[in-house]
Amino acid sequence: MKKYLIVFVSVFVGLVVFMPKQELIFTGLNTLAPQKIEVGIEDNTDMWIYEDLKGLDVLYDKIKVAKIEDVKVFPFILYNRVSATSVTPADSFSSMFDVKAYKVVVSYVVFSPKKLSIDADTSIGKITGEYDLETSKIKIYLKPSADFKNFKQRGYFKKQKDGYVYESIIR
C-alpha cells in the first residue's frame, strides 16, 4: 500500500511541476477575446509549481481599464487558484471607480465545478463571495472599511446587518 501511495504522490507532483502552465494561461486569456478583453503581460516566469506574471495591463475594447502588479497562477489540478496583488484602475477610470484591490484571490475546486470563490482586501473593505459559472451570477459580501463612505458606487450595495451585499448577473 505504501508503494502505491508513493507512486500516486510522485505522479501528482510530476503532473503539477511539468504541466504546461504558460499554455493554460494563454488558452484562458484567448477565451476572453470574444468579450473584447485583452491582457498585456510584461514578464512571465515559470516557478515550478506556479506561474508568476508581472505588470499586467487589462484592456476592454482596446481601452486600458486596469493595471495589475503581480499575478500568481497555481494550477493544482483538484484545487486551482489565481492570486493578484495591487490591482488599480487605469488613470482614465480612477475618477469613476475609486477602489484599489491590495490582494484578490480567485479559487476553483473540482469538487464544486460550477463555482468560483472570491476573496479580496480592498480600499473599501474585505470582500468575500462567489461566482456561479452556470448562471453567470456573482454575489459579493463586503465588510466595509472607513473609506467605504466615500465610495462612489456604494449605491449598488445593499445594507445588511453585518455589512453589505452586491448581486448581479454578468453577461
Give the chain's domain count: 2
Percent of the chain with pLDDT over 90: 56
Collapsed DSSP state (helix, strand, coil) of residue 27: helix
Q: Quick one: average pLDDT of 53-69?
A: 93
pLDDT tens for 23-45 read 878 887 888 888 888 999 999 88
Look up the pTM and report it: 0.86
Do 108 and 82 reside in the same domain of the chain?
Answer: no
**Pairing mode, strands 79-89 and 101-109:** antiparallel
pLDDT at 115 over 90: yes
Percent of the chain with pLDDT over 70: 98
Boundary of a domain, candidates 97, 122, 153: 97
Do 4 and 88 reside in the same domain of the chain?
Answer: yes
Do 30 and 64 reside in the same domain of the chain?
Answer: yes
Boundary of a domain, candidates 64, 81, 97: 97
Do 72 and 147 reside in the same domain of the chain?
Answer: no
Boundary of a domain, candidates 75, 97, 119: 97
pLDDT at res. 91: 87
Tell me the residue range of the domain where 71 lies. 1-97
Q: Quick one: average pLDDT of 118-132?
A: 96
pLDDT at res. 33: 86
CA 36 vs. chain centroid, Å, equals 18
